[in-house]
Chain A
Amino acid sequence: DQQVKQNSPSLSVQEGRISILNCDYTNSMFDYFLWYKKYPAEGPTFLISISSIKDKNEDGRFTVFLNKSAKHLSLHIVPSQPGDSAVYFCAASASGGTSYGKLTFGQGTILTVHP
C-alpha cells in the first residue's frame, strides 16, 4: 500500500525555466509534508516542508503547494539551475492515528536541468 506516490519517475527542464514536481498521498491522517533532495552516494537532504494548516510555503527558489482536498502537493523550483539535478522525494508524516510518527516517502523523481 503506497501511501505516498510520485507518479513521474523523471523530469527534464531547461535552465532558467520552472520545474514542477508532483506528489499524491492517500492517508488523510498525514498532516506534515516534506521535500528532500538526493545526490548519488549521499543521504537525502531536507529542502522544504509544509504543515496541513497552510497551502503554500516559500523558501527562496523553492515553493511547496498543498491541496488537501485533492491530497496533492507540488514543489516548484524557479528558476531551475543545473545544480538542481538530483532525485527529489516527497514525504509525509502524521501526528495521529496508526501512522503516528512514521515518515513515509514516495518513489522519487529524477530531475535533470539542462544548461
Chain B
Amino acid sequence: DAGITQSPRHKVTETGTPVTLRCHQTENHRYMYWYRQDPGHGLRLIHYSYGVKDTDKGEVSDGYSVSRSKTEDFLLTLESATSSQTSVYFCAIGELNTEAFFGQGTRLTVV
C-alpha cells in the first residue's frame, strides 16, 4: 500500500447535486492526479496538482474543479453532477518521471 486513500469508495447521487471526492496521501508526494476510467476510454486525466495550490487541467476537466490546500489532500468537486459523470474515479500520487501510485478508486453513480 503506497499510503493513498480515496473516500468515499462508493457514492450514489442525484443529478444536479454537488459532489466532492477526497484523495489523501501519507507519502508527501508532490504530484497528485485525478482520473476517470470509462469503458473504451482507458484512464483520462481530469486535473492534476504539482504542489499546494498549484493545479492544472487534464484532458476532461469540464464540469470538475479541484483544490489542494495541503500537501496530503487533493479534492475533486463536481459542482452539479450529471449522468455523464457516472464513472470510476482514481487518484494517483507520485513525483515527476517516476511511477505513480494509485488509490483503490471511487465508484460514482449519478441518477
Contact of B44 among A36, A46, A105 (CB under 8 A): A105
Min CB–CB distance B89 → chain A (angstroms): 11
Q: How many residues of B contact A (CB 8 A)?
A: 27
**Contact assessment for A101 and B50 in the assembled complex, using a CB-CB cutoff below 8 Å:** yes
| Contact, CB under 8 Å: B96 / A95 | yes
Determine which residue in B31, B56, B97, B105 has the highest number of CB atoms from chain A within 10 A of its CB, and name it: B97
By the criterion CB–CB under 8 Å, are A105 and B90 in contact?
A: no
Identify B92's interface contact among A31, A103, A107, CB under 8 A: A103
Interface membership of B35, Cβ < 8 A = yes
Q: How many residue pairs bridge A and B at CB < 8 Å?
A: 63
Instruction: Compute how far the CA of A44 lies from the CA of B31 in the bound complex, rounded to whole angstroms.
Output: 17
Contacts of A49 in B (CB 8 A): 98-99
Complex interface bits, A33-53 against B, C-beta within 8 A gives 1, otherwise 0: 010100001111110010100
B52 CB-CB contact with A under 8 Å: no
A-contacting residues of B (Cβ < 8 Å)?
31, 33, 35, 40-45, 48, 50, 56, 58-59, 90, 92, 94, 96-105
A: which residues have CB within 8 A of B? Answer: 1, 6, 9, 31-32, 34, 36, 41-46, 49, 51, 89, 91, 93, 95, 101-108
What 4 pairs between A and B have smallest CB-CB spacing? Answer: A43-B102, A107-B42, A105-B43, A46-B99
